[in-house]
Amino acid sequence: MKKSFILLFFCGLVLSVKAQTIVNRNADIDKMVKSVNPDSLKSYISKMVAFGTRSTISDTKSKTKGIGAARNWVVDKFNQFAKQGDGRLSALLDTVTIKPDGKRVDKQIVLGNAVAVLKGTDPNDKRIFVVSGHLDSRVTDVMNRMSDAPGANDDGSGVAGVIEAARIMSKYKFGATVIFVAVSGEEQSLLGSGFMAAKAKKEGWNVEAMLNNDMIGSNNASETQIIDNTKLRVFSEGLPAYELDKNAKIIRQYGLENDGKSRQLARYVKEIGERYVDQLEIKLIYRNDRFLRGGDHTPFVENGFAAVRLTEMNENFEHQHQDLRTEKGVKYGDLIEFMDFEYLRKNTAVNIAVLANLAKAPSMPTEVKIDVKNLSNSTLLYWKAPLTGTVKGYYVLMRETSSPVWEKKFFTTEKEIRLPYSKDNYLFAVQTIASDESESLPVVPSVGR
Ligand SMILES: [Zn+2]
């Protein structure tokens, strides 16, 4: 009896050691992930709630109440981290005048996004990775700018995650640039992220990924009463919103309807998030967003960038967009008492793991091709080196056409590979890998003749 117990224990040990080798966590990223502090997250949200309302059309002059005080506080917070750093982090309030639109803006306002830029260490690396939450909050009537709208979860949680990511990541060096942003005007029709995405497009920013965090800190569902803090949803578009007309023929011909760049990003979030964050399963949702709802990633996907929405698994509609009140014993409102800070810690950690992995990695391989000159039962892929970063090698990813996630990884130090699998039966992509194990986003090959 005793012997078999020891044997079982030994087997368990071997299994866990094996699992660790497969996981290949980067030590720095692991450290960053472990520094996420639920108490810090709670303190940021308490502060945001204390501004009363953060409605985009609320007061901007007061030092203590309204959206103006709130956005200045976020910029101050970013500046505080900047002072502790080595000069790479800088903060600003990026403002834009919005005219009354006859819908959700009834007077001229100066909207402001609170932005922190962590400049990359490689001057040749033009890549930008954006992480966002929305600072504005609302009650039942979206035009109500006076009543308390705590917005602890919607979207105090996303902004708290962004602030914590800036605090931790600004202590580390990355080749590429990371932008942390608390946008405003989400509830007024995605005004702040629309402003930022349009600017990024117009000025030719090389935004390779945008992570929108909107409600990532509450674990329980209204109606079905499910309580669970072990799952996070990632919403991503299937067919691209941008230039679909130009791409439709290729997408149909090669069956790439599930391989747009936002979907690739979602898969990457799942793989990297689950690699670094324990007790969390990331659910790929094959939709750009939920029914009847919008999100700050959408202006980015509409401008041709890879962007996804990270949202808690279960939503509680008694706590969203509600006037604070108690009716028939039910407490309505987006209050801090409904938050789960351990869940918010994990979801913040997912963002940091993904951003750090992306910003450390070399850029994507270029001119990735799949050879279709001949009928063949094997597959030949070839590509060119990335524009920036030092490459240890490449992962060639493969999956069944019906599989949601990559199933096999082949490592090579060459810039071509012939695989004994028919290109007719599988989907492929190639990513770069650095000596510290960080890997780029995958690139789906185009046809080479
Ligand atoms: Zn929201």
* Rounded distance from Cα 96 to ligand 1 centre (Å): 20
* Rounded distance from Cα 55 to ligand 1 centre (Å): 12
pLDDT at 16: 38
In whole angstroms, give the CA distance from residue 40 to residue 236: 29
**Structure tokens, 395:** 């992962």
* Rounded distance from Cα 156 to ligand 1 centre (Å): 9
pLDDT tens-digit series, residues 293-319: 999 999 999 999 999 999 999 999 999
pLDDT at 413: 98
Q: Are 412 and 334 in contact (CB under 8 A)?
A: no
Average pLDDT over residues 397-414: 97
pLDDT at 80: 98
* Rounded distance from Cα 155 to ligand 1 centre (Å): 5
Beta bridge partners of 60: none
The model carries a pTM of: 0.94
**Structure tokens, 20:** 């660790």
Residue 335, SS3 per DSSP: coil
Q: Are strands 416-419 and 379-384 parallel, antiparallel or unpaired?
A: antiparallel
In whole angstroms, give the CA distance from residue 196 to residue 173: 25
Structure confidence at residue 449 as a pLDDT band (50, 70, 90): confident
* Rounded distance from Cα 213 to ligand 1 centre (Å): 8
Residue 24 has pLDDT above 90, yes or no: no
* Rounded distance from Cα 296 to ligand 1 centre (Å): 9
* Rounded distance from Cα 264 to ligand 1 centre (Å): 24
**Structure tokens, 294:** 């919008």
Which of 45, 55, 52 shows the shortest CA–CA distance to 162? 45
pLDDT at 41: 98
pLDDT tens-digit series, residues 87-118: 999 999 999 999 999 999 999 999 999 999 99
* Rounded distance from Cα 345 to ligand 1 centre (Å): 18
* Rounded distance from Cα 115 to ligand 1 centre (Å): 18
Looking at the chain, the whole-number percentage of residues with pLDDT higher than 70 is 95
pLDDT tens-digit series, residues 69-92: 999 999 999 999 999 999 999 999
Q: Which residues contact 89 (CB under 8 A, 6 or more apart)?
A: 78, 81, 82, 116, 117, 118, 119, 166, 170
In whole angstroms, give the CA distance from residue 413 to residue 393: 4
For the chain, give the number of residues: 449
Q: How many Cβ atoms sit within 10 Å of the Cβ of residue 96? A: 18
Amino acid at 247: N
pLDDT at 8: 36
* Rounded distance from Cα 166 to ligand 1 centre (Å): 20
In whole angstroms, give the CA distance from residue 319 to residue 294: 17
* Rounded distance from Cα 169 to ligand 1 centre (Å): 24
DSSP 442: P
